[in-house]
Chain A
């Protein structure tokens, strides 16, 4: 426990500016060194860590993709055997979906949302720390298992009966199922934090119609996470019970149902796609404003499109199961709902185009990635409408056409905006600008490499090349395109390599960034780059949707917060009127200990059901320690 930096009940208004900042820094600081790193609850440190880890997983998943392209470059290649190849494509998919795409979006939000809504820390900061440790443990579980020839080999959606006890030999499918538990746990934790942060911790005056679009998108995404993730946790728990304990969730002979897996999985799995896409859409809506030099066109339409997408996302999972033999009427309904989602997507697309059309675009790297996103995502969306139709889908199901389609929507729809976002928010993360030259080079290499890699896969799919094959025979007409794809993948890899070089180089030697290098309108640019531990010396008061454009030099602030303890303002849900001063917890080691205890229990439970009984004791101890009053000033509130 640290002593308060000022006498009890000192308010920010009572002391002068320089003393105020030093006092706040003392109250909110994360101690340097190893212990500080383990105990921190600062959303910026955890967010940075989260983003970094997610990009490490992106690189690892990329290596797997490169291996697959090497193997497929020629027919009957002997580089990778069938068993290893099964593990590699499963690892690639599971890693990219569960360890990169979803976490990285939430990680960006962990860093940015508190800054964008003008508060000092995320809600439930210790849960935030816990979430990160759980995420790392889940990722480590998957990759260590893979290194030991124990990686899952049942596809990233692990359909039963292939992943069930009869056909999924060993612990490979259990590793997959338990990795799901880890990542869903961490994602749910963040979703809850974000909802509370956005609903209750917005700066005074930030009414619902003044919330930045990225924050809106994260709000919708968080609700998607809260509603979708329980389905997959139930599904994977049922799978583990079937495999370890011999229950019959998915055993038709004993009253279980194999299709139940597909329904539960895709009830989660399709919203998952929007859990990845909506934050990216929010990033685009937010980033486009400073580069188009005008407010985003159709704020209301953009917000409504986000919400509509979020609702529709739960009504179209069956389009993943068109060949499973469901009733025709059901198929037709889900065809219609799948095509309907093109409407909100189209609304957003036209809003962005209108913003650019009417603005005076400044073509910096982030805007280039936005334009790359628009082009690529439209192509992916069009093939999406194609596979929404049952007869077409029946034809191309499980072929490379589907591989091409989802890489267009996922890389085009989420990774491109994310790369743009990294260039855009990099100064806020590190205090330095990314190199524009390297940025442009990496953009062009990535966009050209990407399209040359994935566009031919449409054709391969129409020619009948199935997914998940480790090799093909020389007399099949797929060789030429496969060589071309593998060569293009080299260009794509070079682009990503250049991007990583740019990040690492700029983090050390980049040009030092001012507070608001892009002249952007949202609150995160009102503080220094990178922000201090307390984010804002005085909580800003918001009078419009673009506070930094409309009140450029005279951003009003609220006062009256105590400086001797961690305090932030709680506001009302709709009008954001100040309601209360609320304490924010101090650093603590207990989230890490709780995460370690949870990890031991979850991994042990792959091998013995008794783990749940004995393993819950350390978790209970850790949670008691977590919530035990420590006598800090924050306890009083």
Chain B
């Protein structure tokens, strides 16, 4: 009986991560667009409604896997590569130019960044940008999330997101990947 109760409570906690919101109400989508950025455009606060919804883009399995799909569809790989970087940062080593907060990633995708990151604000819906941002955050995450997607059905160049590759790749040793990043980026 205790086992059943334990199972129920564990499952209740994980309930949110399985929800599938196929279409956002337009007012909610509008509100989700109103993030408050710091003047440096790094860091800030997501809109109120984001918390009301229960932070759906960080721990919801469906949104994360949609984000992964968008990452492929919008050609993110061509610059950010699959751990190799190329012309943009690879995320995979846990190194963020503009910080690892979701709002910063959202702003990067929506508005673009200097030195080559284009703005996708007019190519994707707000919902999609949030999904993509949530996924991008998992790429450089130091902890494997159970909601994070696993491998794709394609050639594998790196460990899957749910295996927390950033932790595997982050190297503090004598010749670190990013010497200026400090012990816990």
Chain A residues in the interface with B (C-beta under 8 A): 81-83, 140-141, 144-145, 148-150, 161, 164-166, 169-172, 242-246, 248, 250-254, 258, 596, 599-600, 603, 607-608
Q: Tell me if A149 and B19 are in contact (CB < 8 A).
A: yes
CB distance from B184 to the nearest CB of A (A): 23
Q: Tell me if A254 and B155 are in contact (CB < 8 A).
A: yes
Q: Tell me if B150 and A244 are in contact (CB < 8 A).
A: yes
Interface contacts (Cβ under 8 Å), in number, total 90
B144-185 interface bits toward A, Cβ cutoff 8 Å, 1 = contact, 0 = none: 001101111111100110110000000000000000000000
Q: Tell me if A246 and B3 are in contact (CB < 8 A).
A: no
Interface-facing stretch out of B6-14, B84-92, B93-101, B108-116: B6-14
Q: Tell me if A607 and B146 are in contact (CB < 8 A).
A: yes
Q: Tell me if A246 and B4 are in contact (CB < 8 A).
A: no
Q: Tell me if A169 and B14 are in contact (CB < 8 A).
A: no
With A246-B163, A599-B3 given, is the CB distance from A150 to B62 under 8 Å? no
- Residues 11-29 of B contacting A (Cβ, < 8 Å): 11-12, 14-15, 17-20, 22
B34-76 interface bits toward A, Cβ cutoff 8 Å, 1 = contact, 0 = none: 0000000000000000000000000001101110000000000
Q: List the B residue with the shortest CB-CB distance to A609.
A: B163
Q: Tell me if B14 and A148 are in contact (CB < 8 A).
A: yes
Q: Tell me if A150 and B18 are in contact (CB < 8 A).
A: yes
Q: Tell me if B8 and A253 are in contact (CB < 8 A).
A: no
Choose from B8, B20, B65, B151 the contact partner of A246 (Cβ within 8 Å). Answer: B151
With A144-B8, A148-B11, A150-B18 given, is the CB distance from A161 to B151 under 8 Å? no
Q: List the A residue with the shortest CB-CB distance to B3.
A: A596
CB distance from A480 to the nearest CB of B (A): 30
Extra contacts besides A140-B7, A148-B18, A170-B17 (6): CB < 8 Å: A144-B8, A150-B15, A242-B150, A244-B150, A245-B150, A254-B156
- Residues 134-150 of B contacting A (Cβ, < 8 Å): 146-147, 149-150
Report the separation of the CA atoms of residues A169 and B12 in the bound assembly, to the nearest whole angstrom.
Answer: 18
Q: Could you tell me how many residues of chain B have their Cβ less than 8 Å away from some Cβ of chain A?
A: 32
Report the separation of the CA atoms of residues A400 and B101 in the bound assembly, to the nearest whole angstrom.
Answer: 49
Q: List the B residue with the shortest CB-CB distance to A172.
A: B18
With A171-B61, A607-B146 given, is the CB distance from A83 to B22 under 8 Å? yes
Q: Tell me if B62 and A603 are in contact (CB < 8 A).
A: no
Q: Tell me if A600 and B3 are in contact (CB < 8 A).
A: yes
Q: Tell me if A165 and B18 are in contact (CB < 8 A).
A: no
Q: Tell me if A246 and B160 are in contact (CB < 8 A).
A: yes
Q: Tell me if B17 and A243 are in contact (CB < 8 A).
A: no
Q: Tell me if A140 and B4 are in contact (CB < 8 A).
A: yes
Report the separation of the CA atoms of residues A309 and B138 in the bound assembly, to the nearest whole angstrom.
Answer: 52
Report the separation of the CA atoms of residues A608 and B148 in the bound assembly, to the nearest whole angstrom.
Answer: 13
CB distance from B22 to the nearest CB of A (A): 6
Residues in A neighbouring B159, C-beta threshold 8 A: 246
Q: Tell me if B153 and A164 are in contact (CB < 8 A).
A: yes
Q: Tell me if B151 and A251 are in contact (CB < 8 A).
A: yes
With A149-B15, A150-B15 given, is the CB distance from A166 to B20 under 8 Å? no
Q: Tell me if B20 and A165 are in contact (CB < 8 A).
A: no
A-B contact pairs, 17 of them (CB 8 A): A140-B7, A144-B8, A145-B11, A149-B15, A149-B19, A165-B150, A165-B160, A169-B61, A169-B62, A170-B62, A245-B150, A246-B151, A251-B151, A252-B153, A253-B154, A253-B155, A258-B153
Report the separation of the CA atoms of residues A608 and B164 in the bound assembly, to the nearest whole angstrom.
Answer: 13
Residues in B neighbouring A251, C-beta threshold 8 A: 151, 153-154
Residues in B neighbouring A81, C-beta threshold 8 A: 22
CB distance from A264 to the nearest CB of B (A): 17
Residues in A neighbouring B4, C-beta threshold 8 A: 140
Going nearest first, the 3 A-B pairs with the smallest beta carbon separation are A170-B61, A165-B150, A169-B65
Q: List the B residue with the shortest CB-CB distance to A86.
A: B20
CB distance from B8 to the nearest CB of A (A): 6
Q: Tell me if A148 and B62 are in contact (CB < 8 A).
A: no
Residues in A neighbouring B152, C-beta threshold 8 A: 165-166
CB distance from B60 to the nearest CB of A (A): 8
With A82-B22, A150-B18 given, is the CB distance from A165 to B156 under 8 Å? no
CB distance from A503 to the nearest CB of B (A): 26
Report the separation of the CA atoms of residues A551 and B146 in the bound assembly, to the nearest whole angstrom.
Answer: 65
Residues in A neighbouring B149, C-beta threshold 8 A: 165-166, 169
CB distance from A88 to the nearest CB of B (A): 14
CB distance from A534 to the nearest CB of B (A): 31
Report the separation of the CA atoms of residues A258 and B154 in the bound assembly, to the nearest whole angstrom.
Answer: 12
Q: Tell me if A144 and B7 are in contact (CB < 8 A).
A: yes
Report the separation of the CA atoms of residues A165 and B155 in the bound assembly, to the nearest whole angstrom.
Answer: 14
With A140-B7, A246-B163 given, is the CB distance from A83 to B20 under 8 Å? yes
Report the separation of the CA atoms of residues A83 and B19 in the bound assembly, to the nearest whole angstrom.
Answer: 10
Residues in B neighbouring A83, C-beta threshold 8 A: 20, 22
Choose from A148, A250, A258, A600 the contact partner of B12 (Cβ within 8 Å). Answer: A148
**Which of B8, B64, B147, B150 counts the most chain A CB atoms within 10 A?**
B150
Report the separation of the CA atoms of residues A551 and B112 in the bound assembly, to the nearest whole angstrom.
Answer: 92
Residues in A neighbouring B163, C-beta threshold 8 A: 245-246
CB distance from B145 to the nearest CB of A (A): 10
CB distance from A570 to the nearest CB of B (A): 37
CB distance from A576 to the nearest CB of B (A): 43
Residues in B neighbouring A258, C-beta threshold 8 A: 153
Q: Tell me if B153 and A171 are in contact (CB < 8 A).
A: no
